[in-house]
Amino acid sequence: MHNNVKENHLISGFFVFFLIFATQSGIGGLASPNFIFTYSGQDAWISVLIMGLSLHIIIWMIYKMLGNPVKDVIDLHKMIFGRFLGSSLSLLMISYYFLSALYVFRTYIDIVQEWVFPNIRTWELALLFICLISYLVCGGFRVLTGLALFATITGLLLFLLVYFPINLGNLSHLMPVWNHSIPELLQASKASYGIFIGFEALLVYFPFIRFKDKQTKWAHLGMLTNTVQFVAITISSLLYYSPGLLQRTLYPLLGITKIIEFDFIERIEFIFIFCWLIMFIPSLCISIWCCTRILKRVTHLQPRTSLVFVLAIFFLVVVQINEKYKVGALGDFTVQVGLYFVYVYIPLLFILYWIRSKRKAKLNVA
Amino acid sequence: MKKYVSLLLVCFLIPGCAKQEIIDRIKIVQSIGLDVQGDTYKSSISYASYDKKKRLDPITAEALTLPGVWLPQNTKSDDQVVLGQVRTIVISEKLARKSISDLAVNLLRDPTISNNAAIVISKPEISTVISKTFRDPPFYLAGLIKQNMEKGNTPLTNAHYVLDQFYGDGQDVYVPVLNLDENGLIFMDGLGVFKDDKLRLFLTEKESLLLKLLKDKPKSMTGSYEFKWKNDEAVYFRVLHGRRKILFEQNDHVTISLKLYLQIKGLPKNKNYDNKSNLLELEQDIKQHLTNEIEVMLKKFQMNDVDPIGFGEIFRSNHRNWNEQEFKKDTYSKLYFEVNPEIVILYSGVGVSAQ
Amino acid sequence: MQSVMTIRHKLLHLSYYSSIVNHEMIHRDLLAGIQLSNTDIGDLNDLKNAIPLDGIYMSSNLDEITLRLLQGFIYIQLDNDLHEGLLINVADLERGYRENNLAENEYSVIGPKVAFVEDLDTNLNLLRKEIISENLVFEEQIKGTMSKTRVVIAYIDGVVNPQHLNTVRQRLGDLDFDVIYDTSTIDQIISDNTNTPFPLFMSTERVDRMKVNLTRGHIAVLSNGSPYVISGPTTFFDFFNSPEDFYLPWILGTFFRFIRYIAIVFSIFASSLYVSVMTYHYTIVPRALLGPIIESRMNVPFPPFLEVLFMEITVELLREAGARLPTKVGQTLGIVGGVVLGQAAVQAGLTSNTLIIIVSLSALASFVTPIFKMANTIRFLRFPMILLAAGWGGLGMMIGVMFLLGHLLRLKSLGTPYLVPLFPFRYKGLREFIRTPFSMNSERPGFLRPLKNKSYSVQKHKDISDDYSNE
């Protein structure tokens, strides 16, 4: 199977770092990490670390599966499951990416409505963002990569704000270390998957990378940076809030930014929330782009038309999710589905691929 | 791609997309005063006003629940009342003695109140204090409290710390206290310490400095202190900064070691500042005095069963299986404190007094 | 004009456009030469030898004759042989055009102030004088069906990337237009994307800037009748470089460049920040500023959005009017506009003090860019930002930023992405942001893909000795 992406659309492997960093928008870390703290208290950072490190294995698996020869997940499905079943599985994946985009989108709108503009209506914000998304996705994958670059820069700058809670915090909140049993830590890790969701778009944009074998390091580096970032944020939340308060706060990270005060600006949290827009838009756009790309690869539908279609359905669904508990339920559901996808489905694919390629090798030899 | 342009244009035609809060057409609240009478909550709001011509009156409200009285109905105001810049929340002693759990829940859930707001108890009537703040420039009260926390004898506390301490195990809430002097000026009058959610005891100004030395971060360990030496002579010094370590020796023995850097401001007249033996003697005496005072204060806490210093929290971080109830019932009252202050006199002025 | 002259008993038919020929050259050189020559003029060849001028063609092709006559040639026919004649170049090139240009639009205090003029040959002369290299190639074409303008592509052979060159040649070849007014016309037709407010070619009238561009590997396009020369491919960040940065020490150059970047950001966002903070985000204002801001806005009856719109449109009016006023009237009205209007507006309660400062500063700041085209773009970009901020506050501003980013990321100038070195992230290209000292700048920028990378070699200083370690 040859690489069916034109040469001038390829990006160099270095950009995978930014892509992985940006697609993991970490909206789970912003919105509802208090499950992590309920299960593992002051060792929450260990849970996040475990989750982050275990995802490296998944990335290794993905690179192995899609690497030689370069293909994307649709080709992989066709190879393993045959044409008909493979195509239907790919179409099912569209719904996965759709769900992931929906989760990020609705959660962000929810945060804006809660903290900044209580009176604004969901459909207004949704319409506005959909205009933005359609303009950005129409630019193609290179534009999305550029956005990922800017998102990473903004993310790393915003990360410097973590100095403040560490300054005001109390080191004794972290102790005693490792006071929880392994099952509790793993339960918290499961809950923390919401932070890392989003990187599975790698399955779809893989052929766009100018691939050389040693370029896997960029993906791992991106994942590692993200893990380190979120471990630091978790630690700073732990330092800043006492354990009892942490379990009751719904948005710890935003609460931290409430207390930062400079001479010329009083409340940083608005700026923080608005800069977060730069950080989560690439994740959203890439997920939507994945949907249209899968549609194009499987059904040969033109991406421009399918984009209109996808966005229309997107808008209708988003507007339906009106109430707070629905948003929470959406979040939980997405995290569950994501966990199964990443920890069950991808290893399954890997094993099947392994068997397949071994069989092929035997056939070729014989 | 033309579709996005037309969609965006349509969006612009939507009037009033988000609620406008134009900055000179709103009443920006600077302090909220809360009181309770029986079952009814009362509040009194003072807003920042830069227009000299308008009448300045506090806006009052009454309701059966705290949230109902938190953001008062706009029935008494010609502009919208907004809470985004609230700096001080003043609660009356009655409310403090009754319970602050409602207040805590409200603070927790409200995204618009800044966590930097200061919560204070006021000994005189709320309405007096709030109307007093109208006579002063805007945010005067906030500036008063902040200045005292940075340079005076009040430990650093704000809404975040109060919530932190309220919901945290092993730590009790403490809050500054306001009072009015005979000329009608507001001044800071020590601290109020809570047990669970009810006000338990008041601390004086001096005790609040000692609490500050035991609780605050090194940079904000500042304050001024005076005491009577032997022969009824007074000594006055300023604490510049300091360090502190609280350790547990065995299960019931707590060692608190302080290192304080002082600036001596007032010595008895017949003592020479330059004399080395004088200064050493002074150091020793200050050490003794502080040790006594701190131990007395800690015993007072034990007797009243309050823990504003947070020994419970420190215990929790050192022991694997720590239970809050157990600690409060058994261990806290049995703790034996050993205080070891170390005094370093840094500066004592640039002149030489006579002799 | 057609005239018949008899010189030395021969009848000559002269045809020329009297408005574009150099009459002096006709009288002094041409006719006098024919009159004073010794030989007998039998046919055209003798005539040709008799005339002491260069560039004489013999032609009977009607199209060529028409074209040449329009370019200022004179057509001489002998009476006995009317179907063929001589075409002689006697064009008057200098009349009407200025002789020199002191670069007032792109002024720099130090450094040469030579700039291009409208006459193409003078421009080519200026370029050739400065870059003395046999690799500097000028390719000439005639474009414009009615203006028949001479358009020249200039590049340095051996440095420039042949792909870019072919693109320019091909696009220029496909160009069909009636009158080429200026190189900006060519710019808009051959650029990659016309639906953008951002200039995709660098256009300048300074000779030293064009020198630098050519040596780095750009391709320049000059046209007759235009003092501006366009060159490509450019990046977004090229428009913020000023030649003065290179004449100052590199630390100062970097400092001024950063001031320019800050000024651009300020210019785009200041008014919309005002609108969004005043309308939606009063909580951001620090306590000490609340007083002055509220007091300054107290007498204004409009919401901040209308106030800002009013002030911005006033400033734009001032600028447009100031550009068209004759000089004598312009100065007085400038003072009136600036001082009186501002003060009066505040006192009448139409705007607030704070806003006047913000709007005038941001208008000034938008002219910080050395290239005029980019300054216009920056000024234009403010207005959508203000609209978005008025609708959705800070969120609107962020959405505007995203739209802008998405737009910039798509632009390409002659196939090179517009946001290099930021977007296709080139580590070495980060040098473009600061003015690096010449010792670090010896390689040509990577995005131009030149054929030769190194432009000069850096000598290590041998005379700076470290006094301390040699003591």
Query: Whole-angstrom Cα distance, residue C68 to residue C87?
Result: 8
Query: Whole-angstrom Cα distance, residue A265 to residue B136?
Result: 24
Weakest mean pLDDT among A15-19, A228-232, B4-8, C279-283: B4-8
Q: Which residue has the tokens 């340079």?
A: B151
What's the residue count for chain C? 471
Q: Is the pLDDT of residue B312 over 90?
A: no
Percent of chain A with pLDDT over 90: 7
Query: Whole-angstrom Cα distance, residue A293 to residue A304?
Result: 10
Query: What pLDDT does C198 receive?
Result: 92
Helix (H) or strand (E) holding B265: strand B253-266
* Burial degree of C347 (CB within 10 A; 0-12, 13-18, 19+): exposed
CB within 8 Å: A266 and C281: no
User: Which has the higher per-residue pLDDT, A59 or B170?
Assistant: A59
Query: Whole-angstrom Cα distance, residue B308 to residue B215?
Result: 9
- A145 chain-C contacts, CB cut-off 8 A: 423
Chain A: closest CA distance from residue B169 (Å) = 7
Query: Whole-angstrom Cα distance, residue C111 to residue B207?
Result: 71
What b/e readout covers B63-81, taking b as 16+ CB neighbours within 10 angstroms?
eeebeebbbbeeeeeeeeb
Q: Which residue has the tokens 């960040």?
A: C237
Chain C partners (3+ C-beta pairs within 8 A): A, B
User: Which residues make up the CATH 3.30.300.210 domain(s) of chain B?
Assistant: 205-355
Query: Whole-angstrom Cα distance, residue C234 to residue C414?
Result: 8
B103 contacts B133 by C-beta, under 8 angstroms: no
B vs C: CB pairs below 8 A: 62
Nearest to B158 by CA among B143, B175, B170, B144: B175
Q: Tens of pLDDT along B49-102?
A: 777 666 677 788 888 888 777 776 667 777 778 888 888 899 999 888 888 888
Residue C213, amino acid:
N
User: Which has the higher per-residue pLDDT, C396 or B329?
Assistant: C396
Q: Which residue has the tokens 């989003």?
A: A198
Structural domain boundaries of chain C? 2-89, 120-234, 248-416
The crossing angle, in degrees rounded to 10, of helices A83-115 and A73-81 is: 140
Chain B: closest CA distance from residue C190 (Å) = 22
B337 contacts B314 by C-beta, under 8 angstroms: no
Chain A partners (3+ C-beta pairs within 8 A): B, C
Confidence of residue B272 (pLDDT cuts 50, 70, 90): low
Which residues, in sequence order, are bridge partners of residue B175? B192
A vs B: CB pairs below 8 A: 82
Residue C89: how many other CB atoms lie within 10 Å: 17
Nearest-CB residue to C282 (from B12, B28, B114): B28
Q: What is the mean pLDDT of chain B?
A: 80
Nearest-CB residue to C291 (from B12, B14, B50): B50
Chain C: closest CA distance from residue B30 (Å) = 10
Chain B: closest CA distance from residue C115 (Å) = 41
Instruction: Please compute, for residue A15, the number of CA atoms within 13 A of its CA located in the half-sphere on the CB side.
Output: 26
Running DSSP on this structure, what letter comes out for residue B154? P
The residues of chain C scoring below 50 in pLDDT are none
Q: Tens of pLDDT along A57-110?
A: 998 888 888 877 777 788 888 888 888 888 888 888 889 999 989 988 998 888
Strands in C229-232's sheet, in edge-to-edge order, are: C136-143, C149-156, C219-223, C229-232, C202-204
A203 contacts A72 by C-beta, under 8 angstroms: yes
CB within 8 Å: C402 and A281: yes
Helix (H) or strand (E) holding C426: none
CB within 8 Å: C286 and A265: yes
Backbone angles phi, psi at B172, to 5 degrees: -110, 155
- B216 chain-A contacts, CB cut-off 8 A: none
Query: Whole-angstrom Cα distance, residue A255 to residue B115?
Result: 8
Chain C: closest CA distance from residue B342 (Å) = 40
Query: What pLDDT does A3 receive?
Result: 53
Nearest to B241 by CA among B269, B256, B219, B263: B219
What's the residue count for chain B? 355
A vs C: CB pairs below 8 A: 77
Among B116, B164, B325, the strongest candidate for a mutation testing the A interface, having the largest count of A CBs within 10 A, is B164
Q: Are strands C202-204 and C149-156 parallel, antiparallel or unpaired?
A: unpaired
Q: Is the pLDDT of residue A22 over 50?
A: yes
Chain B partners (3+ C-beta pairs within 8 A): A, C
The crossing angle, in degrees rounded to 10, of helices B2-12 and A122-137 is: 160
Q: Tens of pLDDT along A305-332?
A: 888 888 999 999 988 888 888 888 888 8
Q: Which CATH number is B205-355 given?
A: 3.30.300.210
Query: Whole-angstrom Cα distance, residue B172 to residue B193?
Result: 7
* Burial degree of B321 (CB within 10 A; 0-12, 13-18, 19+): exposed
- C398 chain-A contacts, CB cut-off 8 A: 274-275, 277-278
Shortest CA distance from A8: residue in chain C: C415
C456 inside 8 A of chain A by CB: no
In B189-218, the residues whose Cβ lies within 8 Å of chain A are 217
* Burial degree of C70 (CB within 10 A; 0-12, 13-18, 19+): exposed
B354 contacts B270 by C-beta, under 8 angstroms: no
User: Which has the higher per-residue pLDDT, B14 or B265?
Assistant: B265
CB within 8 Å: C282 and B82: yes
Q: Euclidean distance between the first and final Cα of chain A, in Å?
A: 22
Chain A: closest CA distance from residue C268 (Å) = 17
Confidence of residue B116 (pLDDT cuts 50, 70, 90): confident
A154 inside 8 A of chain B by CB: no
Percent of chain B with pLDDT over 70: 87
Query: What pLDDT does C221 receive?
Result: 92
Lookup: tokens for C239: 């428009």
Q: Is the pLDDT of residue B10 over 70?
A: no
- B26 chain-C contacts, CB cut-off 8 A: 282
Residue A8: how many other CB atoms lie within 10 Å: 7
Percent of chain B with pLDDT over 90: 2
What are the CA-CA distances from residue A119 to residues A113, B20, C85 (Å)? 7, 10, 86
Nearest to B255 by CA among B158, B351, B339: B339
Which residues, in sequence order, are bridge partners of residue B264? B237
Average pLDDT over residues B110-138: 85
User: Which has the higher per-residue pLDDT, B269 or A342?
Assistant: A342
B13 inside 8 A of chain A by CB: no
- A254 chain-B contacts, CB cut-off 8 A: 111
The crossing angle, in degrees rounded to 10, of helices A122-137 and C372-410 is: 90
B63 inside 8 A of chain C by CB: no
Nearest to B115 by CA among A252, C261, A211, A104: A252
CB within 8 Å: C406 and A139: yes
Query: Whole-angstrom Cα distance, residue C124 to residue A15?
Result: 44
CB within 8 Å: B169 and A242: yes
- A278 chain-C contacts, CB cut-off 8 A: 398, 401-402
Chain A: closest CA distance from residue B218 (Å) = 11
